[in-house]
Amino acid sequence: MIPPVVIPLSAEMHPQFVTHRLASLDALCVLKSAVQHAHLGRYSYVMADPWFLSDEYNVQPSTDPLSPIAEVMKNLPFERQPELPPFQGGFAGVLSFEAGRAFDRMPSARHRDFLIPDFSMSFYDVVFAWDHIENRGWLISQGWPEIEPAARAKRATARARQFMNLLEQKVTDLTLQIPHAADTSRRSLESLAAPSFALAGHDNIWSNFRREDYLEAVERVIEYIRAGDIFQANLTQRLLTPQTIPSLQIWERLRQHNPSPFMAFWQRPKWSLLSASPERFLKIEKQSVETRPIKGTRRRQGAEADLFLRDELRESRKDVAENVMIVDLLRNDLSRVCRAGSVNVPALCEVETYRTVQHLVSVVTGELSEPFDSWDALRACFPGGSITGAPKVRATEIIAELEPTTRGPYTGTLFYMTPDLWCDSSILIRTFIASEGWLQLGVGGGIVVNSNPVQEFEETLTKASGMLAALTRHHSSE
């Protein structure tokens, strides 16, 4: 089997440089680790101009959108290069929250007022990859969709040359060349299927809940818990604000103001996804599976206060209870596809600190069991337990009853998959969806029996604050 074409990148060809050079191509995808961490923040990837892309709308129950992708991947010739980052070409995609209907008994919310696909997918034969620990980068060109060795080698060489030419051409003021301007034909709020309500104390921000309606929805979740329907449910509100600057420029601001291990940018002609997620959904290498649920958040308030808040978060009965419930749910999900006795919890309720918030994080691991593979693990665990509740199916039924609008990509996942079924993915929280002149921002939290409705509402605004600040903050690099 022939290896891919691999070209080392010079130091000036860093992820931001490459992102801007490829931004005018179709289906730009950036997976950027914006924190230095050997386990979470080691690798970044930029890709564009896939050899195949497709968007699926309105995924139906019992129709598995992953099966056709898995069949294509089986036929791609691939030989892993151990000295390179894990993603060396293959599939990348966005599964919206509502795509969970394909894998479990999951209803949908009452209103769908933005046309965003349930499943957006691309096959990339060329990937730019960086190892931030070793401070090295590479162009990797696989030559797909060609299968025959000579044809594949020829295409891999030609595609590598095509992309390197893009990087090496002379461009003036590169940092200012950010295409995909904001959509000036903004859709009216009145045309949306669900009503929107001005968010008190905030200019040009609307929610799909009145404040009092959100508090009432929290109370309703608590009633379901007391009735024995569920132990916990994740309730969210969707915020809307006008988009006035290009999507890529907003994402660059997020990267600087709100850096996270799972930064992601996903571009389509009529919509884009701008994520600063701190949460891993599933990582799969060989047979090993890892998920890292987040439950519990405190806004940072300075070094001295942060120490107090760190202890308060770690000792919070409510937050610890939320986290442990979701750990139990994920252990159950993984047990469906993992070897008996292999599912473990190496870290429980540990505090991780980010630029604007602190989170309570756990780690659940397992080993896949024959005949299950990475696609089966995605099916078994999607949507993630941290953004649904427990038990998952009943929690999603209550979410559909109480939330006015579909979530779309928010609380779904963005993931990559290689032909040898290595995978990494994020839970799409802290994520803007840009569409029809608007930025959508979903924010929510886990509701348990002792939740305080007012505090739950305020927590959603805490989670939104770091994202919204990026819309007004000015940076010298712009």
Residue 114 vs residue 40, higher pLDDT: 114
Name the percent of the chain lying above pLDDT 90: 79
pLDDT in tens, 134-166: 999 999 999 999 999 999 999 999 999 999 999
Q: In which band, very low, low, confident or very high, does the pLDDT at 306 lie, cut at 50, 70 and 90?
A: confident
Asked if 414 and 430 touch (Cβ cutoff 8 Å), the reply is: no
Angle formed at CA 102 by CA 98 and CA 103, multiple of 5 degrees = 105
Helix (H, G, I), strand (E, B) or coil at 94: strand
Residue 183 has pLDDT above 60, yes or no: no
The span from the CA of 364 to the CA of 186, in Å, is 43
User: How high is the pLDDT of residue 37?
Assistant: 60
Can the peptide bond before residue 107 be classed as cis, meaning omega within 30 degrees of 0? no
Res. 174: pLDDT tops 50: no
> Could you tell me which residue, 175 or 268, shows the higher pLDDT?
268
Banded pLDDT at 207 (limits 50, 70, 90): very high
Q: Out of 197-206, 375-384, 463-472, pick the least confident.
A: 463-472
For range 311-324, the mean pLDDT: 91
| Average pLDDT along the chain | 92
394-398: Cβ within 8 A, 24+ apart: 394/229, 394/230, 395/230, 395/232, 395/233, 395/234, 396/100, 396/104, 396/106, 396/107, 397/106, 397/107, 398/220, 398/221, 398/224, 398/229, 398/230, 398/233
* Angstrom distance (rounded) from CA 239 to CA 96: 17
Phi and psi, residue 152, nearest 5°: -65, -45
* The pLDDT of residue 89 is above 90: yes
- What is the pLDDT, as a whole number, of residue 112? 92
Q: At 172, give phi and psi (nearest 5°).
A: -90, 140
pLDDT at 148: 97
What pLDDT shows up at residue 40?
Answer: 77
Average pLDDT over residues 81-101: 97
46, 21 contact by CB (below 8 A): no
pLDDT on residue 178: 46
Distance between CA atoms of residues 273 and 434, nearest Å: 6
pLDDT of residue 358: 87
Mean pLDDT for 109-126 is 95
Looking at per-residue pLDDT, the higher value among 182 and 20 belongs to 20
Three-state SS at 255: helix
4-50 pLDDT per residue, tens? 999 999 999 999 999 999 999 999 999 999 766 657 779 999 999 99
**What is the per-residue pLDDT for 179?**
45
Q: Which residue has the higher pLDDT, 40 or 290?
A: 290
CATH superfamily of 5-178+188-472: Anthranilate synthase (3.60.120.10)
Place of tokens 């940018």: 265
Q: Does the pLDDT at position 315 exceed 60? A: yes
pLDDT at residue 478, rounded to an integer: 39
pLDDT at 353: 84
- Which of 90 and 301 is assigned the larger pLDDT? 90
* pLDDT, position 356: 76
Tokens 């604000």 appear where?
Answer: 241
Which tens digits make up the pLDDT trace of 427-442? 999 999 999 999 999 9
The arithmetic mean of pLDDT across residues 329-345, rounded, is 97
- As given in the structure block, the two tokens for residue 81 are 């290069």
Contact, 146 vs 75, CB < 8 A? no
Do 123 and 49 contact (CB within 8 A), yes or no? no
CA distance 194 to 156: 48
Give the pLDDT confidence score for residue 110 in this predicted structure: 85
According to DSSP, the β-strands at 271-277 and 431-435 are antiparallel
